[in-house]
Chains A and B, each alone.
Chain A
């Protein structure tokens, strides 16, 4: 049986762990709420851009900018979006798992040269550990993402695409469904296709909750009215507008992806810390019981000794 002192020490350290994880949980919860707010604030902008793109691309007809045109794939860029810090439960490993299974399933398809880009320290570590070449890493994003921080990333990817450094960009990241549920997802972001845009729009709109109704009210659709479109006056030209728009759109899509990963990270961490502090609580209770038993046992044996002693004197 363990000694009373030992048990006491263990009880104390578990109590400390409980306090730490509880504090981390609360911090993560606050951060999660804030990053969710940021993600929601960018929605009207996203809808407006998508709407405009749908209109203009109808007008431009075949004059599509390079970002929207599919070309022969020689090189593929994989972007892994993970966190800078650990202690976030399965947040990072689920992204990596998705990445691995994707590579396994598409072995024949992507035999051509692959390039990797890491967002977040953890994904950088993971890629280096696997012995893959990381073309560039974007780390130290901080707790909340700002458009200024995503700009270099989006610029880098677009530049590489335009320079023919890669012909396709696939992103692995986490989709924020709710505070309790996050899914890792795979998305082809470049070249921009209408299918992937529609997917993005669908994901920007939440499944349920108060924002789902707002999306319905705004009545977002991708079928512009052809007759009305001809009346538009476009300056300087549809192609130029579309070029700029495609660039903005890609930036927005990246921004949204990172935002969502950020919100997911915080909620994953909150959940992980919640389980940890729950565990610590259970463990503390069990230990406390054991401690009481041992203490009681010691007292009983002492009493027995005293009684036995006095009996022997009689």
Chain B
């Protein structure tokens, strides 16, 4: 899936990813390829991303939003 993680000051991640794991206000969720369309509120914690090269990335989150869009596209807007 195409994943982009936006921070106010810069783009943290943009590119292909196979897994996204994050904490939302309803609990921890993992987004894989072809996830259902989804909008959620992120809470404080860490985002874990595994990209297409099987590399792990971790990002710190205070608050933010997660949106799974049509076309296998995922967007995170975080602070």
Contact = CB atoms under 8 A, between A and B. Distances in A.
A45 B37 contact: no
Contacts of A41: 9-10
**How many A residues are at the interface, by size bracket?**
20 to 34
Interface string A41-75: 11011001100100110010000000000000000
Given A42-B8, A45-B7, A52 B38 contact: no
Contact of B9 (A56, A147, A245): A147
Interface stretch (B15-23, B45-53, B62-70): B62-70
A244 B63 contact: yes
A248 interface: yes
A144 to B, nearest CB: 11
Contacts of B39: 52, 55-56, 59, 232-235, 238, 241
B74 to A, nearest CB: 11
Contacts of A147: 8-9, 79
A231 interface: yes
Interface in B24-64: 24-26, 36-41, 63
Given A52-B77, A232-B39, A235-B38, A45 B24 contact: no
B6 A52 contact: no
A281 interface: no
B2 interface: no
A233 B41 CA distance: 12
Which one of B8, B26, B41, B65 has the greatest number of beta carbons of chain A within 10 Å? Answer: B8
Contacts of B7: 45
**Chain A interface SS verdict (over half):** helix
A49 B38 CA distance: 15
Contacts of B40: 234-235, 241
Contacts of B6: 44-45, 48
Contact of A232 (B9, B37, B65, B75): B37
Contacts of A244: 41, 63, 65
A313 B6 CA distance: 95
A228 interface: yes
A124 B63 CA distance: 33
Nearest to A56: B39
Contacts of B79: 147, 248
Pairs A-B, 10 closest by C-beta atoms? A45-B6, A235-B40, A235-B26, A232-B37, A234-B39, A233-B38, A48-B6, A231-B37, A45-B8, A48-B77
Interface of A: 38, 41-42, 44-45, 48-49, 52, 55-56, 59, 147, 228, 231-236, 238, 240-241, 244-245, 248, 252, 255
Given A52-B39, A240-B25, 9 more contacts: A45-B11, A48-B75, A52-B65, A147-B8, A231-B36, A235-B39, A235-B41, A244-B41, A248-B77
Interface of B: 4, 6-11, 24-26, 36-41, 63, 65, 67, 70, 75, 77, 79
7 contacts: A41-B9, A48-B77, A232-B38, A235-B40, A240-B25, A240-B41, A252-B8
